[in-house]
């Protein structure tokens, strides 16, 4: 077992060395820029500390990516607001000529955070000073193909349109913030900035009762999860196919779509994250791209299954673009489609009604799986397998008759039985009666406005 307290101590020791080095660099940069008492060569000679023998997550990350002088400074700057914010008070020093903070220092104030948050400009000044050539040579640190971005370690936050790119805040990913400090296992939380929630299930494949067509679709997905990476990497044909595997689940609520996604994750040892597209579009209109981007950025190289529920909210049929809401929606669809196509993993989009999805989007999917309301035999199997353990049906209950008369989904059958078992416990017995079943079914039908 990993001793977290020991690892945290190692992380702290390594970071203290890096901070002492950065402090020296900052003072030296000031002497080079403002006092002209040092040369640029002296800056490059101030080498980083040797942490190769440190047994910390911080030193391991630097070693993993073979980080150079510049990369180590950028990583440390992005982490500082979370571990030692007072260190950046130096960014608030004022230029006496204008009684304003030095523009070249960069840095921004947070909404609640009283200290400074470093920007791309902060890194540029420390590493490049006022030399345009050095600044140009340092831009590689923030390009899309740099491992900082590719591995979602850190990024420059998008600046306001029209403002310099380097004016954006340096943001370290929450995952790496945790990894480099406490080293605890990180699971992202559902909130306004990360509109996805991990879903899990205690059920097994034997609990999923669906038709043969759905089972064939599930088998195809399992096949891709097992062999997809090999097909892409080991054979020439892999160059002809797009990354990842995109699936559309359609069918009424309660027919097993979410359960199937959860079971795929469970049996393949993969985390499944559910995104409710209707919530994002209605609540974050105009910011959908930003919120969805965080989901895909987090999922990079994580071997996650992404499950987008209520896909109708973005992929529904549209007649024409008539107002600002439609224009936003079209932008959001384009953005989501592009991120889905670029995602090198399993993406499942879910819709309750296949006919609601614009036909133009169907070609984007490698597979469409249509879940349907269970037929008589499937409903009978659901009634028979759903109840086990200490509870049993009354001898007067005719499950075949029940299955034939009442067209219910798997979720509705579970709801009926939940009602019945609570009634059974209220009576202090373990029997599901005909009366309770009838009342439970009535409640389910009333939800949909149906009357028995």
Q: Mind listing the pLDDT tens digit for each residue in 382-438?
A: 999 988 778 999 999 999 999 999 999 999 999 999 999 999 999 999 999 999 999
**Average pLDDT of span 127-142:** 94
pLDDT band, residue 330 (cuts 50/70/90): low
Q: Is the pLDDT of residue 88 over 50?
A: yes
Of residues 75, 24, 28, the one with CA closest to residue 49: 24
CATH number (domain holding residue 230): 3.40.50.300
**Does one domain contain both 385 and 329?**
no
Q: Is the pLDDT of residue 452 over 70?
A: no
Parallel, antiparallel, or unpaired: how do β-strands 154-156 and 108-109 relate?
Answer: unpaired
pLDDT band, residue 2 (cuts 50/70/90): low
pLDDT at 334: 78
pLDDT at 279: 67
Q: Is the pLDDT of residue 12 over 90?
A: yes
101 phi/psi in degrees, rounded to 5: -60, 150
Neighbours of 341 (CB within 10 A): 13
Instruction: Output DSSP code: residue 407.
Output: -
**Average pLDDT of span 104-116:** 87
Residue 259 · residue 214 · CB < 8 Å: no
Residue 276 · residue 310 · CB < 8 Å: yes
> Average per-residue pLDDT in the chain?
87
Q: Does 187 reside within a domain?
A: no
If 0-12 CB within 10 Å is exposed, 13-18 middle and 19+ buried, where does residue 44 land? exposed
Q: Is the pLDDT of residue 321 over 80?
A: no
Q: Does 61 reside within a domain?
A: yes
How many angstroms separate the CA atoms of 208 and 301, rounded? 30
**Average pLDDT of span 133-160:** 91
**Does one domain contain both 63 and 159?**
yes
pLDDT band, residue 359 (cuts 50/70/90): confident
Residue 318 · residue 365 · CB < 8 Å: no
pLDDT at 320: 46
How many angstroms separate the CA atoms of 386 and 414, rounded? 7
Q: Which token pair is 57? A: 């997550």
**Average pLDDT of span 163-192:** 88
Residue 46 · residue 25 · CB < 8 Å: yes
pLDDT at 166: 92
**Does one domain contain both 136 and 33?**
yes
**Does one domain contain both 214 and 307?**
yes
CATH number (domain holding residue 409): 1.10.8.60
Q: Is the pLDDT of residue 159 over 80?
A: no
Single out the residue in 149, 181, 213 at which a domain terminates. 181
pLDDT at 216: 97
410 phi/psi in degrees, rounded to 5: -60, -40
Single out the residue in 338, 370, 402 at which a domain terminates. 370
Q: Does 452 reside within a domain?
A: no
**Does one domain contain both 12 and 150?**
yes
Single out the residue in 181, 214, 245 at which a domain terminates. 181
pLDDT band, residue 333 (cuts 50/70/90): confident
**Does one domain contain both 342 and 243?**
yes
The 3-state DSSP class for residue 268 equals: coil
**Does one domain contain both 402 and 441?**
yes
pLDDT at 37: 79
Q: Does 186 reside within a domain?
A: no
**Does one domain contain both 152 and 54?**
yes
Tens of pLDDT, residues 21-63: 999 999 999 899 888 878 888 888 899 999 999 999 999 999 9
> Which range of residues forms the domain containing residue 258?
197-370
Supply the DSSP string of 231-245, one letter for each residue.
HHHHSGGGGGS-SSE
Tens of pLDDT, residues 222-238: 999 999 888 877 777 76
pTM for this one? 0.77
**H helix runs in 51-157, sequence order:** 57-64, 69-83, 120-128, 132-138, 147-150
Tens of pLDDT, residues 273-312: 998 777 666 555 556 677 778 888 888 878 899 999 888 7
Total structural domains in the chain?
3
Of all residues in the chain, the percent with pLDDT exceeding 90 is 56
**Does one domain contain both 232 and 328?**
yes
Q: Is the pLDDT of residue 355 over 80?
A: no
Tens of pLDDT, residues 237-273: 767 778 889 999 999 999 999 999 999 999 999 999 9
Tens of pLDDT, residues 195-223: 889 999 999 999 999 999 999 999 999 99
Q: Does 414 reside within a domain?
A: yes
């Amino acid at each position: 077992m990993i001793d977290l307290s020991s690892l945290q101590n190692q992380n702290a020791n390594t970071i203290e060395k890096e901070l002492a080095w950065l402090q020296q660099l900052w003072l030296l940069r000031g002497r080079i820029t403002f006092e002209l008492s040092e040369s640029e060569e002296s800056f490059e000679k101030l080498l980083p500390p040797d942490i190769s023998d440190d047994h910390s997550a911080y030193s391991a990350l630097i070693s993993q990516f073979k980080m150079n002088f510049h990369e180590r400074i950028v990583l440390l700057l992005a982490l500082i607001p979370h571990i030692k914010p007072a260190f950046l008070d130096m960014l608030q020093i004022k230029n006496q000529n204008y009684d304003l903070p030095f523009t070249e220092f960069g840095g921004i104030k947070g909404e609640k955070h009283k200290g400074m948050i470093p920007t791309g400009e902060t890194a540029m000044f420390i590493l490049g000073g006022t030399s345009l050539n050095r600044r140009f040579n340092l831009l590689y640190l923030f390009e899309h193909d740099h491992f900082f971005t590719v591995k979602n370690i850190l990024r420059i936050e998008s600046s306001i349109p029209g403002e310099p790119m380097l004016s954006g805040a340096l943001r370290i990913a929450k995952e790496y913030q945790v990894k480099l400090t406490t080293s605890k296992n990180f699971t992202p939380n559902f909130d306004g900035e990360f509109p996805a929630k991990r879903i899990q299930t205690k059920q097994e494949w034997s609990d999923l009762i669906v038709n043969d067509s759905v089972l064939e679709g599930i088998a195809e997905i399992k096949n891709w999860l097992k062999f997809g990476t090999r097909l892409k990497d080991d054979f020439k044909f892999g160059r002809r196919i797009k990354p990842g595997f995109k699936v559309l689940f359609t069918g009424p609520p309660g027919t097993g779509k979410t359960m199937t996604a959860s079971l795929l994750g469970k049996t393949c040892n993969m985390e499944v994250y559910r995104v409710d597209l209707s919530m994002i579009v209605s609540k974050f209109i105009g910011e959908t791209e930003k919120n969805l981007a965080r989901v895909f950025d987090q999922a990079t190289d994580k071997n996650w299954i992404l499950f987008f529920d209520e896909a109708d909210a973005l992929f529904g049929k549209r007649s024409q673009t008539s107002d600002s809401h439609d224009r936003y929606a079209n932008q959001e669809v384009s953005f989501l489609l592009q991120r889905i196509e670029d995602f090198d993993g399993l993406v499942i989009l879910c819709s309750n009604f296949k006919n609601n999805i614009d036909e133009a989007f169907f070609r984007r999917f490698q597979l469409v799986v249509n879940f349907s309301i269970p037929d008589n035999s499937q409903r009978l199997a659901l009634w028979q397998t759903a109840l086990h353990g200490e509870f049993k049906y009354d001898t007067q209950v005719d499950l075949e008759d029940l299955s034939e008369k009442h067209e219910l989904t798997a979720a509705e059958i579970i709801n009926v039985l939940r009602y019945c078992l609570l009634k059974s416990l209220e009576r202090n017995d373990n029997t599901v009666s005909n009366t309770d079943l009838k009342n439970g079914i009535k409640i389910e039908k009333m939800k949909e406005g149906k009357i028995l």
